[in-house]
Structure formats: structure tokens, C-alpha cells
Amino acid sequence: MNEKEIIELFAARLGLQRKRMGLDDIAIVNAGSEILAFKCDMLVESTDVPKGMEPWQVARKSIVSCASDLASKGIAPYVALVSLGIPKGYPSSHIEGLADGFKAASGEFGVRIVGGDTNECSELVIDCSMIGRAGMRDRKIPSRQGARPGDIVVVSGAFGYASSGLKILINGAKAGEQFRKKAVESVLMPAPRQKFGIAMAKYFSSSMDSSDGLSTCLYELARASKVEILIDSEKVPVPAGLEEFARENGLDTGTLVFHGGEEFEIVATIPETRMEEARRYAKKMNLDLYAIGRVVKRGRGTVVVKTGSTRRQLEDRGYIHLG
Amino acid sequence: MNEKEIIELFAARLGLQRKRMGLDDIAIVNAGSEILAFKCDMLVESTDVPKGMEPWQVARKSIVSCASDLASKGIAPYVALVSLGIPKGYPSSHIEGLADGFKAASGEFGVRIVGGDTNECSELVIDCSMIGRAGMRDRKIPSRQGARPGDIVVVSGAFGYASSGLKILINGAKAGEQFRKKAVESVLMPAPRQKFGIAMAKYFSSSMDSSDGLSTCLYELARASKVEILIDSEKVPVPAGLEEFARENGLDTGTLVFHGGEEFEIVATIPETRMEEARRYAKKMNLDLYAIGRVVKRGRGTVVVKTGSTRRQLEDRGYIHLG
């Protein structure tokens, strides 16, 4: 079974498919008059930690993943727990590094770490679980299922730095000084789009973060909402220097943009009627807001990419572990 | 660094020592007018899963650990997330077993599993994080730090089944039919003392569960409360047949009772002035309540065991991973 199949099995067995949220989306629960957002994310060294990432950056990233999921729904983190699986003989200096990373992330993203658990494990595992206070009970939280025909697909930033950064760190791809710095930084020091999400979520009909890659993210929204999405490839923002980087390393730009991962941009849909207001508000808040396509019709969860006058179905391939 | 040292480092770095709860105790957080209890527990196959435990029992146990921590504070579970690290090639039937176990535990312990995360990992890892609604803001939750001189040390049940069960499952220790059944069941199908904790917590000045073993638990309470505890070994309830089991297998009864682990009894202190009422209430609720000792004075966290007229300091040895 691959990750998607496992998620589907668990969701079905636990009755999550009948609910508004999927197994891997944030959970929304009521507590008195308040709504809580509840999310966990497990980071595993062998699959989630690229070469060159320091222990404190690993710990920080485990917090980023949860904070980014909450940010995509417009929710600020409140408290977190960190469960650690630590290999036998893991150096003390690395353990101190992890502690430093949690402390740094706590300050940087405004989340109080209130406890945790430690265990011995055959490799380093960090599971972060986070609670966000999402407001009063009548507040609407965007799920993955709310995209409707006519909605505009928007993103918070450029795609391609993280996948390029991984190629540089893992495969030794060559890059110019400036591009290399930004690409590597986007891998080692990712940042959740908290300001964007918290400001803009009120306009979203559906949303999620792009940590499993842009294509996976678009397919997830299309499938959960039962719609067909059309993306205008020329409108997807890409970093300056991406094409040159791809050419020099014999890589495909489209793959770097659509099938990367570890990117913490927000991908959302906004009803067409609210788009003008959303644009004005983003400008006022000094935020980039890129419209990259639209929801064209009800459907079975297809994503089509338009480049000039040609259209092709986007390959549904991103960050699937296992299988 | 061993587990205790790691916990201390993290607690210090994250400022948790200045708070009421430690890193590994449940976290108490405010949400509007309510109090939430927040707890995580990581289960790692190589250290936490004894031979003979089926996948559905492993999943169930990951829920038991958190539910037991909440129960020791008198709090019922509300919602949980489950993060899974699954080895490559892990059989589908086992994955279905895990899903069945989560479903069973959800019904058995009254907790709604609202989401999770799946990853590939070199061994099976399950991290459960749980929220309990602990009541309104003025409710007092027993910490580990509230034991005071004069308090009575109480437990919810017998000690020795789980350690014996592990000896049977792992080392092939011999046992009579009846004892074997109960001992093995206490390992494979542990149950949190939810009824006991929820009924009795109003009397507790301090409490925790005994999942790391009775001695570790008593030392933890003594240290956190800065007191000296005196245990009357003859009053510690043990299973019928424990001495025979120990004798036949050349094991030490004291070790089986004090230095086991994986037991989910509740260990608490009750102020002497409230003890009579607590006894009456336990009887009314049809619950066993065993007084096994008392807090004798302020101190540095010592635990002394009295057997007849001899007294010796209890060895502080239980379930410490790593090191």
C-alpha cells in the first residue's frame, strides 16, 4: 500500500470520510464556545531530512509543517507537543541542537511548546502535534472540499525553489550564487505563510499548503471538492533563474515547479465574486497573491494545464512515500 | 544522554521547568473558559512492542498510553490524532490490523480519532496525541508536584502482572494457566484506569500513571514534590500467584512489583484529612483503593521501603530508554 491508500483505508475505517475533513487535513473540533484546530506531522530522518540540514533546523522544520497546515486555514498556532524518537548513541550536541531548534521555532512562529515524549528509535523521528485556537463556533474554516466551479485558484508565492534546493543538496546540481542561496534556504529554513494565510483565509472556499508538491495539492483539492481545475502554466509564479538552473542541469522546469515538495506555499480557491476584494486586501496587506487558474466545472478531480493553446492533463505525481 | 537527561535538557531549554507540569506530564492549557489537557505518547516497535502482540493490539496500546495519562488526572479523552511511521513492505493485513485497533480503542475508551499522518520509517512508530476537556477554568488538576508531608500514597490496583507477562512473552517464563492468562493479558490488552481516575481525582494532591514502573513513578512524584515517601511493602497489592511465579522462575518478587513497567495503574497522593471520605467514595463507586504508604517529610525526592522493621532506600530503576 502507498501512503494515499493507507490514508484512505484509515479514513474509511475510522469514519473520517463521512466528515468534512480527511485524515491528513487539519481536524476541527469544538471545545465549548471555541473551535480548535488540531494537527500532527511526523518527520522521519531518512525520508524528510535532506543532507546539510542541521539538527536545530530539523526540529524547527517539524514545527513549520504543522504551523503551515494551520496557516493555510488562516489559523495561528497556540500550543504544541513534540514526541521524539532518538537513535541510540545520537550525539548530545545534536540533542542540544534539537532543543535549540524547538526553542527558535517557538519564538519565530508564536507557538508555546508545552510538553512531549522521548523514546529510543532506530532513526530520528519527530512528531509535532499542534493546537490552534480557530475562533468562535460560527467561524467558517476552509476545508479541502469547498472549491466550486468559477472559483479562482490562487497561490501565495513562487514554486521551484524547494525542488531546486533539494537537487542542489542531494544531487549536487550546479547553480549561480544567488539562486543557490535562495533555493537551499527554502529547503533548510522553510517558513510557513502565516501572514498570508491569516490575512487571506476569509476569502478561501478551499485551501491547503503545498508541502507535498503543487500537483499533489491541486489534485487533492480537485478530488476532495469533486471538480476539474484548469491551470494556466504561464501564470504560475516561478523564481528568477529557474529556467537557467533547469537547463544547466538537464532538468525539466515543469517537474521542478509542479512535482516538487517541501514547499510551504498556500494553494487556495477564491469565489470569483470575492476576487477583486481579495486582490485589494492582499495589496493593502503588502502580500503577493497570484491567480494561476480556475475551477472550470464539477468533475472527478482532474487537473488540466494550459500552455499557450495546448492543454494536457497534469501528471498526479509528487511526494508519495511508501509503495 | 539517557531519557531522563534528555527530558531535563528539553524542559530547561523550553522553559517548562518553571511551569507546573514537566515535559512528559500532561500539559494543561486554557482555551476560553475551558481547560484542555494535551498529551502525546510515542510507541516504537523495537522498544515498546513485546513478542506476541498483534498489530491491532499495538494500535490500541498507543491509545491506552495517552488515555491512561489523562485518567490519572481524572480527565476523559476527547479527541486524538495518530501519526504513523510504517516500514517499507509492511504487510497490508498489518496495516488493516492497525486501523482495526484504532477503531476498537476509539470505542472502548471513548475517544474520537479525528486525523493523523502517515510516513515511511525504518521501524513501526505510532505517536498518539490526545486532547481531553478538563472542565472549566477554576478546576484543579493534580500535577506531579502537589504531594505534601502527611499525604497518603494510594494505588488503583495490583503490581506485578505486567512485568510477569513480559517475562512470559519475552523470556519464556513458566506459569500456571490462570496466572499466565492474566499476566499476558495485562501486557497485550492493558486498560487505562479511567473509572478510577475520573471518580477519585478530586481527592488527589498529586498523581500519575505507573506506565514506567512503580519505583520510577514514586521517585518522579517524590522529586517533583520535593518530599520523602515511605512505602509499606506489605501493603502494596500483588497478584495472587506472584510469589509462586517468581520462585519457579528464579525471579525476585520485589523487582517484579517495583521495577516493571507497562502497567497502567494510577499512583496518587491524598491528603490525610480527605482519606476517609476518599475510602467511602471508592467503596460506593465499587473501586479498589489501596493505601501503600505516606509522604513523611519534605526532602530531595527519596523513596524508602519498609518491610517489617527494616527500611531501605528503593532503587530508582524502571523503564529508562536510551543511555
B279-315 tens-digit pLDDT:
999 999 999 999 999 999 999 999 999 999 999 999 9
- Sheet containing strand A34-44, edge to edge, reads A27-31, A34-44, A125-136, A77-86, A112-120
CA distance B286 to B283: 5
DSSP-derived 3-state class of residue A222: helix
- What are the angstrom distances between the C-alpha of B17 and each of A115, A158, B13? 11, 42, 9
CA distance B31 to A132: 10
Residue located via cell numbers 486586501: A281
Q: Is the pLDDT score of A323 beyond 50?
A: no
Element (H, E) at A2: none
Q: Is the pLDDT score of B20 beyond 90?
A: no
CA distance A52 to A162: 14
In sequence order, which residues have a C-beta less than 8 Å from that of residue B83 and are 6 or more positions away? Answer: A40, A41, A42, A83, A127, A129, B116, B117, B118, B119, B125, B126, B127, B128, B129
CA distance B229 to B282: 23
Which string of DSSP letters, residue by residue, matches B175-244? Answer: --HHHHHHHHHHHHS----HHHHHHHGGG-SEEEE-TT-HHHHHHHHHHHHTEEEEEEGGGS---TTHHH
CA angle (B243 as vertex; B241, B246 as ends), nearest 5? 110
DSSP-derived 3-state class of residue B314: coil
DSSP-derived 3-state class of residue B127: strand
CA angle (A11 as vertex; A148, B53 as ends), nearest 5? 165
A261-313 tens-digit pLDDT: 889 999 999 999 999 999 999 999 999 999 999 999 999 999 999 999 999 99
Backbone torsion region of residue A81, taken as left when φ is above 0, otherwise alpha when ψ lies between -120 and 50, otherwise beta? beta
pLDDT at A319: 54
Helix, strand, coil % over all residues of chain B, rounded to 5 = 40, 25, 35
Nearest to A44 among B23, B85, B99 (CB): B85
Phi, psi at B239, each rounded to 5°? -65, 150
pLDDT at A208: 96
- Take residue B142 and report the three cell numbers written for it: 493534580
Q: Is the pLDDT score of B320 beyond 90?
A: no
The more confident residue out of B266 and B20 is B266
CB contact under 8 A, B14 and A92: no
- What are the angstrom distances between the C-alpha of B275 and each of A1, B152, B153? 55, 8, 10
Q: Is the pLDDT score of B321 beyond 70?
A: no
Tell me the shortest Cα–Cα distance from A152 to chain B, in angstroms: 28
| Whether complex ipTM tops 0.85 | yes
Question: Which of residues 115 through 174 in chain A touch B, CB cutoff 8 A?
Answer: 115-123, 125, 127, 129, 131, 133
Q: Is the pLDDT score of A223 beyond 60?
A: yes
Nearest to B42 among A7, A127, A322 (CB): A127
> In 3D, which of A116, A285, A317 has the Cα closest to residue A193?
A285
Predicted confidence band of residue B323 (pLDDT cuts 50, 70, 90): very low
Mutating which of B5, B9, B13 best tests the A interface, going by the most A Cβ atoms within 10 A?
Answer: B13
> In 3D, which of A261, A258, A249 has the Cα closest to residue A175?
A249
CA distance B201 to B220: 18
B208-242 tens-digit pLDDT: 999 989 999 999 999 999 999 999 999 999 999 99
> In 3D, which of A254, A49, A296 has the Cα closest to residue A169?
A49
Residue located via cell numbers 509503495: A323
Let me know if A177 is exposed, middle or buried by CB neighbors in 10 A (0-12, 13-18, 19+).
Answer: exposed
CA distance B55 to B87: 13
Tell me the shortest Cα–Cα distance from A209 to chain B, in angstroms: 15
Q: Is the pLDDT score of A321 beyond 60?
A: no
Predicted confidence band of residue A21 (pLDDT cuts 50, 70, 90): very low
CA distance A300 to A227: 6
Helix, strand, coil % over all residues of chain A, rounded to 5 = 40, 25, 35
Is B93 part of the contact surface with chain A (CB cutoff 8 Å)?
A: no
Q: How many CB atoms lie within 10 A of CB A304?
A: 16
Q: Which residues of A touch B25 (CB under 8 A)?
A: 115
- What are the angstrom distances between the C-alpha of B35 and each of A110, B75, B131, B141, B155? 20, 11, 10, 9, 26
CA distance B161 to B163: 6
Predicted confidence band of residue A322 (pLDDT cuts 50, 70, 90): very low
Mutating which of B73, B75, B121, B320 best tests the A interface, going by the most A Cβ atoms within 10 A?
Answer: B121
CA distance B74 to B37: 10
Predicted confidence band of residue A23 (pLDDT cuts 50, 70, 90): low
**Domains of chain B, each with CATH number or no CATH:** 3-136 (3.30.1330.10), 152-313 (3.90.650.10)
- Take residue B34 and report the three cell numbers written for it: 475551558
pLDDT at B319: 53
> In 3D, which of A41, A31, A192, A67 has the Cα closest to residue A129?
A41
CA distance B84 to B102: 12
Which string of DSSP letters, residue by residue, matches A251-278? Answer: --HHHHHHS------EEEEE-HHHHHHH
Q: Which residues of B touch A3 (CB under 8 A)?
A: 118-120
The arithmetic mean of pLDDT across residues B145-150, rounded, is 96
CA distance B112 to B132: 11
CB pairs under 8 A between A and B: 247
Q: Is the pLDDT score of A80 beyond 50?
A: yes
Phi, psi at A52, each rounded to 5°? 95, -5
Instruction: Compare all CA atoms of chain A with the CA of B92 and give the residue at the minimum distance.
Output: A1
- Take residue B154 and report the three cell numbers written for it: 494510594
pLDDT at B11: 82
Backbone torsion region of residue A200, taken as left when φ is above 0, otherwise alpha when ψ lies between -120 and 50, otherwise beta? alpha
pLDDT at A283: 98
Q: Which residues of A touch B39 (CB under 8 A)?
A: 81, 115
